[in-house]
Amino acid sequence: MKLESVTLKNFRAFRKETRVSIGELTTIIGKNDVGKSSILEALEVFFNNEIVKLESGDKNVHSTETHIEVTCEFSDLPDELVLDTQAETTLSDEYLLAMNGNLCVKKRWQCTGGKPKEEIFVCANHPSEPKYDDLLTLTQAKLRERMTELNVASEGVNRNSNPSMRKAIWENCPDLKLRKTEVAVAKEDGKRIWEKLASHLPLFALFQSDRPSRDSDAEVQDPMKLGIRPAKLSITHNPVGLLGGEMIYPPAGRCVKIDGRSGIGQ
Ligand SMILES: Nc1ncnc2c1ncn2[C@@H]1O[C@H](COP(=O)(O)OP(=O)(O)OP(=O)(O)O)[C@@H](O)[C@H]1O
Ligand SMILES: [Mg+2]
């Protein structure tokens, strides 16, 4: 998967929702304290939450809202997702794609208590018609019940396969009322799909060069570990987000200029 953009909301200086496009080579330019490092650190929080960990204090001090959001948009998506032997599916079949065909994953942290509480959503053009809008949260037994409740014909439907039942139910509806929706991926197949997607995410490594560092520092060690991880796993990843000295080298030659604290222009 390839990172196309990151959008910040209520993260440090970025109170208003602010989208940053990511190219093959992205350079972020702006005056001091405008929020350049914050963009890179938001990506670290989204992908790893290790070198920089999200804290309640990261919420914009001027915002009356209680949450922080970081949303990453991806292209080059996996053709299919294998949930188990009976359950192969696609993001398109599950109505988990955005209007432009990309995948948008939003992480939201509630900052009301001590430790921020993370929730994950896929922002997609998803059914909003009642009884057709919650299928990714249902167990297999509940999907069978829903088929009965909605009089969905069971010929040709594998009742041991959740994707097969969801397809049949959705095809049964004359108007799914597709709407831009935040689909929670915290339980049942939503959760399984997110777990599968997580293994396809680009690798991201943050290297902070604007302070003294030692070879033992995590930002020195972690990029090296990231470098050998694909070989160890024998899995081909798309190394989109390797950062060096506060420069990001993912997908072509785009320069992002920060105009002010409330927004970014290009
Ligand atoms: N919780 C917060 N709420 C509002 N603003 C914040 C918050 N935390 C940090 N900031 C603001 O973020 C700014 C610093 O952001 P950042 O370090 O990303 O800037 P920078 O462009 O990388 O700066 P430099 O050029 O010095 O490296 C400061 O103006 C600081 O006041
Ligand atoms: Mg900085």
Q: Which domains does the chain have, with CATH numbers?
A: 2-127+179-265 (3.40.50.300)
pLDDT of residue 232: 64
pLDDT of residue 226: 67
pLDDT tens-digit readout, 18-70: 999 999 999 999 999 999 999 999 999 999 999 899 999 999 999 999 999 99
- Token output for 17: 């929702």
Number of the ligand 1 atom closest to the C-alpha atom of 32 = 25
- Ligand that lies nearest to the alpha carbon of residue 52, given by its number in the listed order: 1
Number of the ligand 1 atom closest to the C-alpha atom of 258 = 21
Number of the ligand 1 atom closest to the C-alpha atom of 57 = 1
Q: How far is the CA of 147 from the centre of ligand 1 (A)?
A: 52
Highest mean pLDDT range out of 176-190, 197-211, 225-239, 244-258? 176-190
Helix (H, G, I), strand (E, B), or coil: what is residue 240?
coil
Average pLDDT of the residues in 240-250: 43
Average pLDDT of the residues in 135-147: 98
Q: Output the residue whose Cα is nearest ligand 1's atom 8.
A: 12
| Average pLDDT of the chain, as a whole number | 87
Average pLDDT of the residues in 170-183: 98
Q: Is residue 61 lining ligand 1, measured as CB closer than 6 Å? A: yes
pLDDT tens-digit readout, 189-213: 999 999 999 989 999 988 877 777 7
CB atoms near residue 191 (< 10 Å): 15
pLDDT of residue 40: 97
Q: Is residue 198 lining ligand 1, measured as CB closer than 6 Å? A: no
Cβ contact 164:144 at 8 Å: no
Q: Is residue 60 lining ligand 1, measured as CB closer than 6 Å? A: yes
Number of the ligand 1 atom closest to the C-alpha atom of 61 = 3
Helix (H, G, I), strand (E, B), or coil: what is residue 205?
strand
- Ligand that lies nearest to the alpha carbon of residue 36, given by its number in the listed order: 1
Least Cα distance to 135 among 124, 125, 146 occurs for 146
- Ligand that lies nearest to the alpha carbon of residue 34, given by its number in the listed order: 1
Cβ contact 258:28 at 8 Å: yes
Whole-model pTM? 0.86
Q: Is residue 58 lining ligand 1, measured as CB closer than 6 Å? A: yes
Q: Is residue 38 lining ligand 1, measured as CB closer than 6 Å? A: yes
